[in-house]
């Protein structure tokens, strides 16, 4: 992993990553999205554009949440914690952010695992990169 320059990062986080260590039914996921995830992000003046999900490598689910506007690393890690990210992962990520690592926000997937779209804001249109 590379370290950032001493100056603050120009790149901001536009994808939150949440590790949930359990499997739940689809209606629980819908509740999580509409009762927790979207309102918490909104309270930080962040819009949820889309959410993709897959099973984690060991147990549970991973959520990839596309947001706008992008936010700084510390705010992203804090928001991930508020959204129920695994507490050990949050601690490791905080140390990575404080030490200036570029790639601090990792989730480990099985190679070739496909992400399923579970939410898309009707106003959101992904721009080609």
Burial class (CB in 10 A: 0-12, 13-18, 19+), 77: buried
> Is 8 a residue whose pLDDT tops 80?
no
Decide if 101 is inside a domain.
Answer: yes
pTM of the model: 0.85
| pLDDT in the model for residue 10 | 58
Between the alpha carbon of residue 71 and those of residues 13, 49, 50, 67, the distances in Å are 5, 14, 16, 9
* pLDDT 10s digits, 24-60: 999 999 999 999 999 999 999 999 999 999 988 778 9
| pLDDT in the model for residue 129 | 41
Decide if 92 is inside a domain.
Answer: yes
Decide if 6 is inside a domain.
Answer: no
> Is 1 a residue whose pLDDT tops 70?
no
Under 8 Å between Cβ of 100 and 93: no
Beta bridge partner(s), residue 71: 13
Decide if 5 is inside a domain.
Answer: no
Decide if 54 is inside a domain.
Answer: yes
Q: Average pLDDT of 86-106?
A: 93
Decide if 1 is inside a domain.
Answer: no
Q: Which domain holds residue 82?
A: 13-106+114-120
Instruction: With cut-offs at 50, 70 and 90, classify the pLDDT of residue 6.
Output: very low
Instruction: With cut-offs at 50, 70 and 90, classify the pLDDT of residue 99.
Output: very high
Total structural domains in the chain?
A: 1
Under 8 Å between Cβ of 53 and 63: yes
Decide if 127 is inside a domain.
Answer: no
| pLDDT in the model for residue 2 | 52
| pLDDT in the model for residue 56 | 85
Rounded-to-integer distance, Cα 70 and Cα 11, Å: 9
Decide if 126 is inside a domain.
Answer: no
């Amino acid at each position: 992993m590379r370290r950032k320059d001493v100056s603050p990062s120009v790149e901001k986080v536009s994808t939150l990553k949440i590790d949930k260590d359990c499997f739940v039914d689809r209606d629980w996921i819908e509740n999580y999205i509409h009762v927790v995830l979207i309102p918490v992000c909104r309270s930080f003046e962040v819009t949820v554009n889309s959410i993709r999900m897959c099973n984690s490598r060991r147990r549970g689910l991973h959520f990839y949440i596309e947001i706008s506007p992008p936010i700084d690393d510390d705010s992203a890690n804090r928001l991930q914690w508020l959204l129920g990210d695994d507490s050990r992962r949050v601690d490791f990520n905080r140390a990575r952010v404080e030490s200036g690592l570029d790639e601090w926000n990792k989730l480990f997937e099985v190679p070739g695992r496909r992400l399923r779209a579970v939410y898309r804001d009707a106003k959101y249109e992904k721009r080609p990169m």
